[in-house]
Chains A and B, each alone.
Chain A
Amino acid sequence: MSAAAEERNARAPWALTAPALMLFVGVLLIPLAMTVMLSFHDWGQYKGIEPVFILKNWREIATDPYYAEMFWRTFRVAILTTVLTAVLGAPEAYILNRMSGRWKSIFLLVILGPLLISVVARTLGWALLFGGNNGLVNKLLMSAGLIRSPIPFMFTETGMVVALAHVMMPFMVLSVWAALQRLDPQIENAALSLGAGPITIIRRIIMPQIMPGVLSGAIIVFSLSASAFATPAIIGGRRLKVAATLAYDEFLNTLNWPLGAAVATLLLVALVLIVVGSNALIERRYAEVFR
């Protein structure tokens, strides 16, 4: 290859990615940096935003127990949602994987399809199902004899967790499904031929192999639940605030942008730390499986 062609080859990838790179620097990195800066600005009811550097907003978040409670609620809801999706989604993915071709693809479409349906429409569905004390869910649970008195779902964390788990379920099923595709069915048969029972097979053969899938699904579900907006806003109502709905309020109702920016920055930093940290842990623990 001539020197000129080689030089062209070295420049080509940069020429091709340059437009996208400029777009991302210009309208993603700069706005994000501006938001972090905004969180250090001052704000007053009458003076508006003052571009100074102070720690007022951060101090308010650190000292006012309201914010601690709100962040704790955000992460509690996200953790419960993650556990619920893992406990129900992992067995479902396993069952799905054992179905025959035709049924498998039909049910895969039914379970993954909701992922692409508007979150507002799906949450509206839950609001209708919960609807007050004589909602459909409560009627069903009571007639099945599972509960005696109606559980309040609307405007509670219980309702938030149930609706969020429904919204996030496809991510978990998908993630476990991907792990199951890498699994060699012959290992299961080998265990069977050596006299292992179904419970032993699930506990000793299947579980360890799909665990990376469950964990990476859990990371996705957790980070999306902790920053969810539509479902907590509709099911939680105006009183039960999570990080995303609080930031929305600060920006569009109270108009205290610097404080809202501080809440958003904290959410972003916390999520990045949690996601990167648990990713590193999982990769170290399951280095064998990811190879």
Chain B
Amino acid sequence: MRRNGPLALIFHTIFVIVMVAPILVVCLVAFTPEGFLSLPTNGFSLRWFRAIANYPEFIHAFWVSLGLGALSSFVALLFAVPAALAIARYRFRGRDALAALFLSPLMIPHVVLGIAFLRFFTSAGLSGSFAALIIAHVIIVFPFALRLTLAAATGMDLSVEMAAVSLGAGGWTLFRRVTLPLILPGVISGWALAFIQSFDDLTMTVFLAAPGTETLPVRMFLYIQDNIDPLVTSVSACVIAITMTALILLDRFYGLDRVLAGKGDTGR
């Protein structure tokens, strides 16, 4: 294969700079010693990170986001793992339709989902509650949990299971001791990707969150609507740091291109 020419490398350099610039500028402004938005030209300061402590709304929102992401991704897996095993192993009528239904939250705009859930939970008397947020997030992270579990279940060596069955294992023991350990990398990556999706969602959550159940992106969005100051950049810098850590772990354990390309979509 031919190498990249100088023109291609110049294009590539500019491209990468533009991709990184907005993220970098947020992180840099977060360290400003000034009281207004500016790049830290006279040294770095942590004052805006310390200032977060004076805004309990942000800290509370962070815990809401963390709990919501962890819990909804876990619940989504409880539903997704059996469904993935069924779709990966059996050829049955309605299989493709089921897979399409389970992946459909990827296709439906989040603003429509937000409206649908707001309407639904209001008539169910759950509007603004943490339970409503969990249920809604389970739906939106479900495709991610399903996809990675499905990829693991499709690539699994069935002879190991057969060996276990021939030795007398069955039902729950078979799942817990043989199947689950074999698909665990996919399940854990599915959980991580689902967590990131839940942790970052704004568009749907902004419809459902009430004071007290506001997630971090919602709190940040409402704050930015009023004014942009260095405080929100330091909060963003923290969010970026958390996501980057999760990202690097995901890349190490699973390979980022595999996670994002979603190979083995419906097992086809």
Q: CB distance A121 to B261 under 8 Å?
A: no
| Choice from A27, A98, A122, A248 contacting B111 with Cβ under 8 Å | A248
Q: Is there a chain B Cβ closer than 8 Å to A43's Cβ?
A: no
Count of residues in A whose CB is under 8 Å from the partner chain: 88
Assess the B26–A121 pair: CB atoms within 8 A. yes
Q: Are B243 and A118 in contact (CB under 8 A)?
A: yes
Within 8 A of A (CB), among B4-45: 4-5, 8-9, 11-12, 15-16, 18-26, 29, 37
B200 interface neighbour in A109, A116, A166, A275, Cβ under 8 Å: A116
B107 an interface residue at 8 Å Cβ cutoff? yes
Q: Which residue of chain B is the closest to A35 with respect to CB atoms?
A: B116
Encode contact with A along B110-148: 1 for CB under 8 Å, 0 otherwise.
111001111110010000000000011011001000000
Checking A30, A163, A166 against B19 with a beta-carbon cut-off of 8 angstroms, the contacting residue is A166
B177 on the interface (CB 8 Å rule)?
no
Instruction: Classify the interface of chain B: helix, strand, loop or mixed.
Output: helix
The 8 A CB mask of A104-129 against B (1 = contact, 0 = none) is 00011111111111111111111111
Binding site for A on B (CB under 8 A): 1-5, 8-9, 11-12, 15-16, 18-26, 29, 37, 78-80, 82-83, 85-87, 89-90, 92, 95, 98, 101-102, 104-105, 107-112, 115-120, 123, 135-136, 138-139, 142, 196, 199-200, 202-203, 206-207, 217, 220-221, 224-225, 228, 232-233, 236, 239-240, 243-244, 246-247, 251, 256-257, 260-261
Interface residues of A (CB under 8 A from B): 9-10, 12-14, 16-17, 19-21, 23-24, 27-28, 30-32, 34-35, 38, 88, 91-92, 95-96, 98-99, 107-129, 131, 136, 163, 166, 169-170, 174, 177-178, 185, 188-189, 192, 198, 223, 226-230, 233-234, 243-244, 247-248, 251-252, 257, 260-261, 264-265, 267-268, 271-272, 275
Supply 4 further A-B pairs (C-beta < 8 A) apart from A12-B86, A13-B95.
Answer: A35-B119, A95-B11, A118-B240, A120-B236
